[in-house]
Structure 1
Amino acid sequence: MQTVHLLLTFTSPGPILFEWGPLVIRWYGLLIAIAVLVGINLSQFLAQRRQVNPEIMADLAIWLVIAAIPCARLYYVAFQWQEYAADPSKIIAIWQGGIAIHGAILGGMAAALLFARLRRVPFWQLADLVAPALILGQTIGRWGNFFNSEAFGRPTDLPWKLYIPPTHRPLGYTNFEYFHPTFLYESLWDLSVFALLLSLFFWSLHRQPPLKVGTLFLVYLVSYSLGRLWIEGLRMDSLMLGPLRIAQLVSLGAIALGVIGLLWLYRLDRALPDVVTSEQASPS
């Protein structure tokens, strides 16, 4: 029993994977890179199954990375400005952690809308192909929080728990050693959402009529946000707007948009508004 207890106690080995002179490879950056590469390959594979040119997804990936990562950082910095006001040069130190997935999603959506418009590709078709890759990337990326000893929850004495070194503990909690491993909760939740989206994708390939375009992304919005809503309530480092947790507010908004979109598709039986019409769309 003691062995099982120890296996459920998570202790970060530190943020640095490899260091040789000025060369430093951090777990956080490596995991982001892995998430991007895995996501690109998965979205291309799904595009082929949907009879969409996979090269479009490779081109889109460049736009998404250029937009999503800086927006994720700027979103975080905007709500944590007091940490960076004294030394703004730290804003670019993304390898030290401090990005917000909601900022990445908003930046990525803006880039995808522009890309779809310029390439004359339906936005919702792209969104459906990106959604499974996005949530899988989130599954991988959450482990960066583990290595950085950040984004943890309240103190806990449950068998599963995360050891936080004294230097990373919040003020007033220096006497607590173990906290909720919210990185793990969200990573497992994201993995379950990924399984749901992938199951719907392949089920739709053999269904007549198939799922309507935009369904997968809307399901992603609702299912991911439901998990983030309750997990965020455990965290001690939430981005705040006064007394309100920003991530919970955004999650509620995403749930509402997702539900409205699904009702629009299936109750009203209408296509989602898009940046291009079917007549304007270029051949895949």
Structure 2
Amino acid sequence: MSTAVSTALPAALPSPVQGVWHLGPVPLRAYALCILAGIVAGLWITSKRWSAKGGRADFPLDVAVWAVPLGVVGARLYHVLTSPDAYFGPGGQPLRALYVWEGGLGIWGAVAGGALGAWIACRRAGYRLAPFADAVAPGLLVAQALGRWGNWFNNELYGRATDLPWALTVHDWDESTGRALTGPDGAAVVLGTFHPTFLYESLWCLLSAAVIVLADRRLRLRRGQAFALYVVLYTAGRSVFEALRVDEAELIAGLRVNQWVSALVLLVALVALVRSRRRHGGGPDLPLERVPSLPSPAPTPPAGDTQSQTGAPNVNESAQPSRREHDHPDS
């Protein structure tokens, strides 16, 4: 029985031979469509979680206006800075550093740029950043999971050669045309079979998103803890997947730059999460607003409406609590 099943399984997972289609003069790039699908899914999940926290359901769209462009710019800058030889090294083409549609977006640049955009939007709306970061954490992981399939369409970012049943067939790829190169017989040229690191990371992101949602419900995570857990889970998986990759990258002491960055960010996030749990534990979170609103002042009584005339104390003098009783520092 086992022999029959093994024979029925494909020798390797397939890869596309084309990643760009043309609608008239307009190119439709699978990489961009995967990124767009991830953004839409992430916004939908974030909107649901933000509404559950008591925020405006449409506020994540306001954040996206700032976070998405800055995230793309940050992602591309991170990629170019950590892989400069392809653009500025011998034989490099500096202008291709602007060709975002060919792939090459660094997640840490995206997170940094997106966080800056989210901070700007939250500050303008009067919201705290940390609760919004908690709301966006699972959606961000789902967006990353969908975005990774753009690498599959581009036949890129695969791991070491392997003959495992789930090995990925990779073609010799022409980035300028978005198609696999073909041989004399017209068939796509196959480089070999490799670890599908894009698939590993996509599945890990989905699993991590589920863990965060479950932890949020069971452990009642407080401000900033869900996002810290996102960073811990993602970097733990990314450290493993990065070690499998064979694409060119800058090395420091024999390790890829992304491995060092993931390890450092993992350590910082883990310390922050442990300290936050020890200090705050779980329970009801703080208000979303940066500055709590003060109660509306009592209406001013008509002239002459004093205690001597009505027999009741003047509401502005004795019943109104002092402003100081309502003020408390933003924590």
Q: TM-score, normalised by structure 1?
A: 0.86
**TM-superposed deviation, 1:66:** 1.3
Q: CA deviation at 1:9?
A: 1.9
Work out whether 1:180 is the aligned partner of 2:195: yes
For residues 35-54 of structure 1, give each alpha carbon's deviation from its aligned partner in whole angstroms, at most 9, with x where no partner exists: 11111111111111111112
How far is the alpha carbon of 1:175 from its aligned partner? Answer: 9.1
Query: 1:40 corresponds to which residue?
Result: 43
**Letter matched to residue 5 of structure 1:** P
Relative contact order (alpha carbons < 8 A, sep ≥ 6): 1 or 2 greater? 1
What secondary structure does 1:65 align onto? helix
Distance in 2 between residues matched to 1:98 and 1:279, nearest whole Å: 36
**1:163 matched residue in structure 2:** 169
Give the alignment of 1:46-125 within 5 angstroms.
46-85=49-88, 86-125=92-131
- Residue 49 of structure 1 aligns with an amino acid whose one-letter code is A
* Equivalent residue number for residue 133 of structure 1: 139
Match of 2:7 in 1: 2
- Point out where structure 2 has 5 or more consecutive residues left out of the alignment: 1-5, 175-179, 181-188, 295-331
- Between the aligned partners of 1:28 and 1:282, the Cα distance in structure 2 is 45
Seen in structure 2, the aligned counterparts of structure 1 residues 12 and 175 have a Cα distance that, compared at 3 Å, is closer
**Conserved 8 A contact 2:66-2:120:** no
Q: Deviations over 1:188-213 (max 9, x none)?
A: 11110011122233446xxxxx3211
Distance 1:282 1:90 in 2: 50
What residue is the counterpart of 2:227 in the other structure?
217
Percent of aligned pairs with the same amino acid? 32
Q: What do residues 70-123 of structure 1 show as CA deviations (whole Å, max 9, x unaligned)?
A: 110111112222222343322221111111111101111222233333332111
Paired residues for 1:125-274 under 5 Å: 125-167=131-173, 177-203=192-218, 210-237=220-247, 239-242=249-252, 243-269=254-280
Structure 1 alignment gaps of length 5 or more: 205-209
Q: For structure 1, which segment, 30-39 or 48-57, has the greater mean C-alpha deviation from structure 2 after superposition?
A: 48-57
Q: Spell out, residue by residue over 1:247-280, the C-alpha distance to the aligned partner (whole angstroms, 9 max, x if none).
A: 1112112211221112221213389xxxx99662
Is the CA contact (8 Å cut-off) linking 2:38 and 2:144 kept in structure 1? yes
Q: Give the Cα separation in 2 of the matches to 1:281 and 1:76.
A: 40
Q: Using a 3 Å threshold, how does the CA distance of structure 1 residues 99 and 282 change in structure 2: closer, same or farther?
A: farther
Structure 1's 60 and 175: CA in aligned 2 closer, same or farther, altered over 3 A? closer
| Distance of 1:62 and 1:281 partners within structure 2 | 26
| Letter aligned with residue 222 of structure 1 | V
- Aligned pairs, number: 268
Secondary structure of the residue aligned to 1:177 is: strand
Is contact 1:143-1:184 (8 Å) kept? yes
Note closer, same or farther for the CA distance 1:11–1:278 as it changes in structure 2 (3 Å cut). Answer: closer
Structure number with the higher helix fraction is 1
Distance 1:279 1:67, change over 3 A: closer
Larger Rg: 2
